[in-house]
Amino acid sequence: MKRLSLTIVVAGTIFCALPALAKGYLSVNVDNANVRTGPALNKKVAMELFNGYPLKILKTEGDWHMIVDFEGDKGWIHNSITRPQDTVIVNVKNSLNMRQQPSTNGKIIATVERGVVLNKLEQKGGWTKVKHSSGTTGWIYSPLLWP
């Protein structure tokens, strides 16, 4: 009897976790990607995004994801023009410092403006190693990036 109830609890836990699998983050995979007001090609274009732009998935319906960006703008994007999240966006009021090492003592190698998208390379402690489209690679304090 105990074995049966454990199986039911485990199965119930897995079942309850399934909706959460549809959530997470992704990156746009093309330039001029249309984000629409609803999950269909005939819906109005709400915004246009560029390759690499990171998005948070709120829910999924078929091949469409309801998303939100770092500024809170929402819409729907088709799965075919996305990829697993591999980018971050600078989320500060003005600009921040990119450093040579993951430390506030690290040499500043670049200043990066709000809204700049960077390729995410690795994380170490509270820091994220990123690469700018120019090729500049360095570390940024993770709480200053989204997601």
Domain boundaries, the chain: 22-85, 88-146
Is the peptide bond preceding residue 143 cis, with omega within 30 degrees of 0?
Answer: no
Dump pLDDT digits (tens) for 90-137.
999 999 999 999 999 999 999 999 999 999 999 999 999 999 999 999
- The answer to whether the 22-85 and 88-146 domains have the same CATH topology is yes
Q: Is the pTM of this model over 0.75?
A: yes
pLDDT of residue 22: 57
Domain 88-146 in this protein, CATH class: mainly beta
Query: Which fold would CATH assign to domain 22-85?
Result: SH3 type barrels. (2.30.30)
For residue 1, pLDDT beyond 90: no
- In 3D, which of 30, 34, 31 has the Cα closest to residue 65? 34
Distance separating the N- and C-terminal Cα atoms of the chain? 45
Contact assessment for residue 11 and residue 39, using Cβ atoms and an 8 Å cutoff: no
Cα 85 from Cα 13, distance rounded (Å): 26
Dump pLDDT digits (tens) for 59-80.
999 999 999 999 999 999 999 9
Average pLDDT over residues 76-91: 98
Contact assessment for residue 71 and residue 34, using Cβ atoms and an 8 Å cutoff: no
